[in-house]
Chains A and B, each alone.
Chain A
């Protein structure tokens, strides 16, 4: 015991040194971290996250304050870019809602009004033109995708003996694209919409190879939307202006549908072929279609569980 007492002061000095050392290390680490954070914030302030986006948290893990700071930065940036005011909303998924879509193949006449309404609503790049909806013209009654053409251009549609099959993102319930993403830049929201964070996507395009419905598009160059045509009501996970080099796709018009409106393609359809609604609401029109019509989904054998049905009648 006495030995221990004799060693006491030396021990405590060593302990003190240890504490000091640890403190120095922690301090250096803290300085490095805060420097990184400051640089990250400086980058945020300069509206160009770029390299410093490494220090950016995942959208789903951001606090409310962080989200609103980021949205304010984006609104300033888009305001400078396009002039005037651009709103970036972050409306969350409504409770008790899972969105679903159904489309009547008997009613679709191939007018492609949905395609163009979608492009306007969602601020899709005009040159090269990006389209989320692909309408296939198919000979006869067979639904065989390899028999379809998308660049049909007759004087008048529908052509006799032809069927029209619009395809867009089906918001699969088991989406292969989400599994493929190496950095979690795309995910399924609680309301069933598969979204992309354009500020997180690294542009590897693995999700595009994984999608069995060819629903995803890439910004091969900076997308151009004339300022006067810009839809200024945007959602962070939807139609806000996209940077170059990232993937995008249909979000069931998240900026509209989360506020109780209908998707632009549904509104634009002149034949009423499109039925949109809440799959969890037994009284919704989509539930009526699913319960009373003959429905099918594309490539069901792949197990992707699309939330998009085609029906007869």
Chain B
């Protein structure tokens, strides 16, 4: 136990060690967090009236970002499965990066839920057992359990693996095997539960579709690994943790396939809603075509669609996808495309028109934008800090003193 404590201290010390670029990165993200904090203070002082939300559009940018980030978190499993199920050894070096990314994504996702609450002071009522959690009735209660649980699993596994490496030992299969099995199941559950949060609403035909959960998974398995691929290039560039070509090929294939599946499902959705539109198709029409004067999301939707189509085109052309520049651009387009499509593009049309047929549009207010950026920075900050000991142990710089 004492040794484990020393390991934790060594990890924390490692977080303080870094060049000017590392510190500049931390400072930049820290500044974003501070800005977000002030935006949150403003929101706490005035109430959620400072956001663009209203009784008609009761959820906005916060829940949209939450939904997207849950997807990023779940995508770590796309590296875990190849490594631990199919023994794709080159990916073993970077699997911990994916898990650390999942922790940071869960953390930011939880922050997005908290800032969306009208009464954050009563947040602890959501604690299982201690509070009065409505489990299993409420799908939000499921999310309250699943998101922190997933973060804990993805903190525990890298913690254990790194500790063993720090002591120059292999991770014991009887520990790591079941843990990985749990992590895989939990990742799928995490994303399905979050999809069901929306699917459960019979009041909102736009969400009440069996396709929603599979589409959540497909878009997550595109955007998560795309983000990871970008991060791994950066890590490869800045640290001693290199990105093997096999890993790059694997992740590229995963992003391509998931994006293709996502686009097929999107096509199925567009056809179903638009070929013979019923009054249940109004939300989809609002997103794809606009409803009369109300068309705030239409340009966003076509941006997302074009980005995803372009990305899939680049990824499917080997001469392009093999080159780092185009590959990274394609990854960027995937991330932004899915962020629009599965963030605001999923949450907002559910409210338009309202269940009584009224059309009130939503545009995020500055407070929401700054606070959202702040939470993204907080997630980035946590990711950078957690990545530091991972790189140090993996490169052999951090070892138990003999």
A contacts, CB < 8 Å to B: 50-51, 53-54, 58, 128, 134, 136, 144-150, 167, 176, 179-185, 200-206, 208-214, 216-222, 243-247, 302-303
Contact = CB atoms under 8 A, between A and B. Distances in A.
A205 B53 CA distance: 11
Given A145-B355, A203-B122, 13 more contacts: A51-B124, A136-B356, A146-B357, A179-B138, A183-B133, A202-B126, A203-B48, A203-B119, A205-B58, A205-B59, A246-B118, A247-B118, A302-B202
Interface centre among B127, B141, B353 (most CB of A within 10 A): B141
B119 A245 contact: yes
B118 A210 contact: no
B184 to A, nearest CB: 26
Contacts of B116: 204-205
A184 B47 contact: no
Chain B binding surface, main DSSP class: loop
Contacts of A184: 132, 134
Given A180-B138, A200-B125, A205-B59, A220 B202 contact: no
Interface string B338-366: 00000000000011011111100000000
Interface in B345-396: 350-351, 353-358
Contacts, number: 153
A128 B56 CA distance: 14
B130 A218 contact: no
B203 interface: yes
B398 interface: no
Interface residues of B, number: 51
Contact of A202 (B122, B130, B137, B354): B122
Contact of A200 (B122, B282, B354): B122
- Nearest 4 CB-CB pairs, A to B? A203-B118, A245-B118, A146-B357, A212-B203
A179 B202 CA distance: 12
A58 B140 contact: no
Chain A binding surface, main DSSP class: loop
Contact of B357 (A58, A147, A183, A211): A147
A307 B36 CA distance: 45
Contacts of A179: 137-138
B356 A148 contact: yes
B357 A180 contact: no
Contacts of A244: 47, 118
A218 to B, nearest CB: 6
B389 to A, nearest CB: 34
B53 A220 contact: yes
A144 B137 contact: no
Interface string B90-104: 000000000000000
B34 to A, nearest CB: 24
Contacts of B144: 182
Given A202-B123, A220-B49, A145 B118 contact: no
Given A134-B356, A182-B138, A302-B203, A217 B118 contact: no
A150 B358 CA distance: 8
Contacts of B133: 182-183
12 contacts: A53-B122, A144-B279, A176-B202, A180-B140, A182-B126, A182-B141, A183-B122, A205-B59, A209-B203, A210-B200, A210-B201, A214-B358
B130 A54 contact: yes
Contacts of A214: 55-56, 354-356, 358
Given A210-B203, A244-B118, A181 B138 contact: yes
Nearest to B46: A221
A209 B356 contact: no
Contacts of A211: 203, 355
Interface centre among A205, A216, A244 (most CB of B within 10 A): A205
Contacts of A243: 119
A58 B134 CA distance: 12
Interface string B172-204: 000000000000000000000000010011111
B294 interface: no
Nearest to A203: B118
B121 interface: yes
A183 B134 contact: yes
Contact of A204 (B117, B137, B351, B357): B117
Interface centre among A53, A128, A206, A302 (most CB of B within 10 A): A206
B139 interface: yes
B118 A218 contact: yes
A11 to B, nearest CB: 30
